[in-house]
Amino acid sequence: MSMPSSSNQQLSHENDSWKKTMVLPPKDTRPQTEDVTATKGNEFEDYFLKRELLMGIFEAGFERPSPIQEEAIPIALTGRDILARAKNGTGKTAAFVIPTLEKINNKKSKIQALLLVPTRELALQTSQVCKNLGKHLGVQVMVTTGGTTLKDDIMRLSESVHIVVGTPGRILDLASKGVADFSEASTFVMDEADKLLSPEFTPIIDQLISFFPKDRQIMLFSATFPIIVKHFKEKYLVKPYEINLMDELTLRGVTQYYAYVEEKQKVHCLNTLFSKLQINQSIIFCNSTNRVELLAKKITELGYSCFYSHAKMLQSHRNRVFHDFRNGVCRNLVCSDLLTRGIDIQAVNVVINFDFPKNAETYLHRIGRSGRFGHLGLAINLITYEDRFNLYKIERELGTEIQPIPPVIDKRLYVAPSALEDSEGQADNYHFSNSNRGGRFRTQQPNGGGNSRSRIPDPLP
Ligand SMILES: Nc1ncnc2c1ncn2[C@@H]1O[C@H](COP(=O)(O)OP(=O)(O)OP(=O)(O)O)[C@@H](O)[C@H]1O
Ligand SMILES: [Mg+2]
């Protein structure tokens, strides 16, 4: 039956009226690379998602799907197993969260999906993405990790939970005790799947899967898929749809340099970098817990503000550091590989490997903490004599070139045009900005020398 065109127009007008009720964030005007712009031109509306879900997506500031979302969302909605590989910061989280949310029946008070991640901070972040994108859906999301009180989780599970986000140990604990019931959980996602399938986790994953129904859908996501995944794939996945958007491995927006130094010159070198670089926020990686603490102390002594985090800290303290750094309370964060994977802080434009990592996967994930969603970033590696072979090995494995650091680094390589220090006159006018992502910021000054955040209490002992 055909309708008169005027009522057709009226219908589409009425159908679109929900769009006017949305509160959209300011548009992100920073330049983006092809890592996220080379799409097929899909729209989120092409996937026939619930209107409430579309509202959550648009209100998060997403305008259209990224390449990995275009590939994964339609297939995931059909219920097929997926093994997906895409570069850091290109939107893998929403690629599995959107179809997961779409498939939840909020009338049914049962756990229907598990999103498994390797670290507690990543669990908190992923559950937040679920809550944001699903905020109009009436879906109950629960996050559960080690380092918190088991009793609280048990209490929470006595209420309605549709999606569980968490780390393997605690989830297995809850499932084995019969507190978390996954018997009707049809979706099982493993983010950073290669990490979850490393020997430290595999026995847990094997047990966990036994609590799921036979016809569950399993989806694996990561930027890196070493061969260890093959065994799992053959054992558990049914005709998986494989996505690989990594024709090259490193991000186009991230410029990589190395500085050849002696171990004892490292702190001095870092000091020089702090004074020369236009850091909005930085993450500085060390190879051990001990070195994280020592370096954080040195940085504080140099007069710069910094937080630190590592696995041996109390979880409550770890959470506070993560939360406050994300909110821009402090400019620099020193950490171990605890925060190497998945952590998404758009304001980070510089990553420094104070200690060079041992393998290519770790390197890739670390430098991928900058240059999120196709934006610009800078990765600086301090290389000692002992690291030299490792540097060549990682360059070779990743097919990338890490250049020696030039005397002057062009700020246009890692600072958004809107935030470039264009004139001295604006120096007093800057503010250290996280919320507007590209913000106006300038070179940081030690102790009170213009750092607007120096008044903020430093959590370091
Ligand atoms: N369609 C989109 N439009 C705009 N921004 C998006 C879109 N999808 C994701 N983003 C943003 O991109 C950033 C990176 O996304 P995400 O953390 O999912 O990347 P990732 O692929 O999981 O990276 P990693 O491999 O490092 O874990 C997030 O800040 C997210 O909000
Ligand atoms: Mg991720």
Domain-wise residue ranges, the chain: 27-244, 254-448
Residue 141 reports pLDDT greater than 90: yes
pLDDT exceeds cutoff 80 at 160: yes
The SS3 of residue 113 is strand
Confidence at 13, pLDDT banded by 50, 70, 90: low
CB 72 within 8 A of CB 245: no
Which is higher by pLDDT, 457 or 143? 143
pLDDT value for 453: 39
> For residue 172, is pLDDT > 50?
yes
Q: Which of 85, 344, 435 to mutate to test the pocket of ligand 1 (most atoms within 8 A of CB)?
A: 344
Q: State the pLDDT at residue 55.
A: 96
Q: For residue 380, give the 3-state DSSP assignment.
A: strand
Strand order in the sheet with 217-222: 141-144, 163-166, 113-116, 187-191, 217-222, 82-85, 241-244
**CA angle at residue 263 from 259 to 268, to 5 degrees?**
65
Local confidence band at 149 (pLDDT 50, 70, 90 cut-offs): very high
Decide if pLDDT at 243 tops 70: yes
Ligand 2 centroid vs 123 CA: distance in angstroms?
A: 11
Which residues lie below 8 Å from residue 188, measured CB to CB, with a gap of 6+?
113, 114, 116, 209, 212, 216, 217, 218, 219
Q: Classify residue 45 by its DSSP letter.
A: G
Same fold, 27-244 and 254-448: yes
Mean pLDDT, the chain, whole residue set: 89
pLDDT higher than threshold 90 for residue 421: no
Position 444 confidence tier, pLDDT thresholds 50, 70, 90: confident
The residue contributing the CA closest to ligand 1 atom 16 is 91
**CATH 1.20.1250.20 applies to domain 254-448:** no
pLDDT (tens digit per residue) in 297-338? 999 999 999 999 999 999 999 999 999 999 999 999 999 999
What pLDDT, on the 0 to 100 scale, is given for residue 461? 26
Domain 27-244: which CATH number of 3.40.1790.10, 3.40.50.300, 3.90.1720.10, 2.40.128.630? 3.40.50.300
Residue nearest to atom 15 of ligand 1 (CA): 91
81 alpha carbon to ligand 2 midpoint, in Å?
18
Residue closest by Cα to atom 5 of ligand 1 = 62
Element (H, E) at 363: helix 360-367
Nearest protein CA to atom 3 of ligand 1, as residue: 62
Residue 301 CB neighbour total at 10 angstroms: 10
**What's the pLDDT at 19?**
85
Residue 81 near residue 59 (C-beta atoms within 8 A) = no
- Asked whether the predicted pLDDT for residue 429 surpasses 90, the reply is no
Q: Where are the beta strands (DSSP E) in 366-436?
A: 377-383, 403-404
Which of 3-7, 141-145, 151-155, 199-203 has the weakest average pLDDT?
3-7
